[in-house]
Structure 1
Amino acid sequence: MVKIQVNKSHTLTGHNDCIYALAEGSDPRFFYTGAGDGMVVEWDLDAPKDGKLIAKLPHSVYALALDSLRNLLIIGHNFEGVHVIDLHDNKEIWSLKVTDQAIFDIKVWGDQLFVGTGDGVLIVIDIPTQSIKKHVKLSSKSIRVMDIALEKMHLAIGLSDHSIKILDLNNDFQPIANLVGHSNSVFGLAYSPDESVLSSGSRDAHLKFWNTENYELEEDVVAHMYAINYLSFKEDGKYLVSCSMDKSIKIWDVESKKLLKVIDKARNAGHGTSINKVVWSSYSQEVISVSDDRTISIWKITEPQHT
């Protein structure tokens, strides 16, 4: 088994409340955080110490997404809708009141924006016309997380009704599969870079791997002590990182589905409370994590060199 080394490169502070949202920038040198304090901050991995305030909103921010095509940052503003910031001059250029619910996740797909709401509705927004195109009612429970397989044109949605729904982007959001197996809300969903695997993590602390050929379950791992809050693949697809309410981050070998490394407070001076989001940076190959403890940690992950 590969022995992975972990070193914390930075701890970043500045938010005054739990940090819920984390997104890599169109230029992955930058990343963005959103928190319970309503602040959205831009960070630079080349000079991480000083964040730049991008927006300050009156309610919590749970969801952020980047529109790389137009260099826009989309902010999900709880109970209000979406705010759109032009990152070229850091100004809000439009907003849309789409829901009075919490917004847990947002994804950008071409000219469309997918907004997942607390009342189980997928709202499809046309970005160029800034208008709502469609409402897709999926459940009476919250949409918690989404991921897109761009080649397959599949949209995977994790819900608080314990299910994962796969919709066809080629065919007007028609259902392809309904995955049941988790016994609680699905908070983490990620397609592997080659789209052969969909990984899911839940409040039930299980990590599941689904084969996307037919969406059959390949592996079910009791991965954490408490809820798995988020999942992120390394760019080369070799590793997956999970983060949890149990205050730990875990690194998994994707091929063997085995645990390689635990990052926590005792071993690595990790976070002191629930870790809400984690991203494997495609710029620095570091792992970025955000927590209820109001801090951001950046982790250098190295494999030993074989000679």
Structure 2
Amino acid sequence: MSTLFRPQAEKLATLTGHRDCVYALAGAPDSTSVYSAGTDGFVVEWDLENPERDGELVARVENSVYALKYLPERGLLLIGHNFQGVQAIDLKARQLIFATALPPAAIFDIAYSESRQRVYVALGNGTLAVLHAADLSLEHLVPLSHKSLRCLILHEERQELAIGGSDHLVHILDLETLTPKQVIPGATSSVFSVCYSPDGRYLLTAGRDAHLRVWDVAAGYTEHLSVVAHLFAINHVIYSPDGRYVATCSMDKSIKLWDATGFRLLRVLDRARHAGHGTSVNKLFWSAHRNRLVSCSDDRTLAVWQVSE
């Protein structure tokens, strides 16, 4: 049996300034900047190199924001403005350059395909919106479910899009035709997060039933593993930049770090042990820059964690 390394995690900073729950984080894997947004409509940029600095306001919108997507090659930040549509902010000029109205629904997630130059948007009315990346013009509205679509992830090599929803299902779509190739049952409640492993071998899913499920992609998305990972709903699942670890965050106020090979629990980051969040942890972003993990919460704050061996 291989030696199991338990990473250390130190809380470096608590980032304050949001006036309500924070739901969205975005950034590039090697970037020193992370962007946050939430119920207050503020979109804020934070510097991970200097986490003690105040955040800089990038935009303010009328309604809440659950989804952000950063396109570093174009210097754009996409904002899912609930019940309005998707907006694109030029980060250098700090100005709105594109805005596309969508059906009046919550926007829960945004994905981007560089190979197809498309943006995919998960809507609370069960519809997938497909936009042209060049100007965010609407190409298709694809009705998929009678319940909310909550999360998206692309498998560029297989040209597949995995979509989790409140219908307890994960829909696998063909990117060329936008038709379902497969539907994965298994969850007993809403699916809040979907994540492909860096090598594309596994699809990880999690949600309200607090289970972390691992699906073998090459074997037709058969279930590889299921773990009761948290006490309450899992809001987000991500891999570390080097692919060695998986991080989950939950309504139970904790963040957990897992071994990405056997999915064994390595460390728990919570309020009692690490001065973590006091309420639900909603989203994670893991930067390759100094291996820093960022979390956001209903407690209106972000936390910056230094992860090391």
**What's the CA shift string for 1:63-110, capped at 9, x where partnerless?**
000223321110000110111101121101121111200000011212
Give the number of aligned pairs: 302
1:29 and 2:29 correspond: no
Residue 202 of structure 1, aligned match among 201, 204, 207: 207
Q: Map 1:47-58; keep pairs closer than 5 Å.
A: 47-48=50-51, 49-58=53-62
Supply the distance in 2 between the matched residues of 1:199 and 1:186 (Cα, whole angstroms): 11
- 2:14 alignment partner in structure 1: 11
Name the structure 2 match of 1:83.
Answer: 87
TM-score, structure 2 length as denominator?
Answer: 0.95
- Where do 1:145-160 residues align within 5 Å? 145-160=151-166
Matched-pair identity in %: 45
Q: Which runs of 5+ in 1 are unaligned?
A: none
The one-letter amino acid paired with 1:2 is F
Give the SS at the match of 1:284. helix
Q: Identify which range, 155-164 or 2-11, moves more after superposition.
A: 2-11
Task: Tell whether 2:62 aligns with 1:63.
Answer: no
Given residue 9 of structure 1, which amino acid in structure 2 is its aligned partner? L
**Structure 2 partner of 1:46:** 49
Residues 270-300 of structure 1, C-alpha deviation per residue, up to 9 Å, x if partnerless? 0000000012212221111000001100111
Q: Deviations over 1:129-172 (max 9, x none)?
A: 43211111110100101111122221111100010111111x31
Asked whether 1:179 is paired with 2:169, we answer no
RMSD across aligned positions (CA): 1.2
TM-score, normalised by the number of residues in structure 1: 0.96
Tell me, yes or no, if the aligned pair for 2:283 and 2:297 is still in contact at 8 Å: yes
- Report the AA paired with residue 144 of structure 1: R
Preserved contact between residue 292 and residue 306 of structure 2 (Cα < 8 Å): yes
Task: Tell me if the contact between 2:168 and 2:185 (Cα under 8 Å) persists in the aligned partners.
Answer: yes
The DSSP-based 3-state class of the residue aligned with 2:272 is helix
Does 1:259 pair with 2:265?
Answer: yes
1:125-274 equivalences under 5 Å are 125-169=131-175, 171-213=176-218, 214-274=220-280
Aligned partners of 1:26 and 1:66 also within 8 Å: no
The secondary structure found in structure 2 opposite 1:194 is coil
Distance in 2 between the 1:28 and 1:58 partners?
28
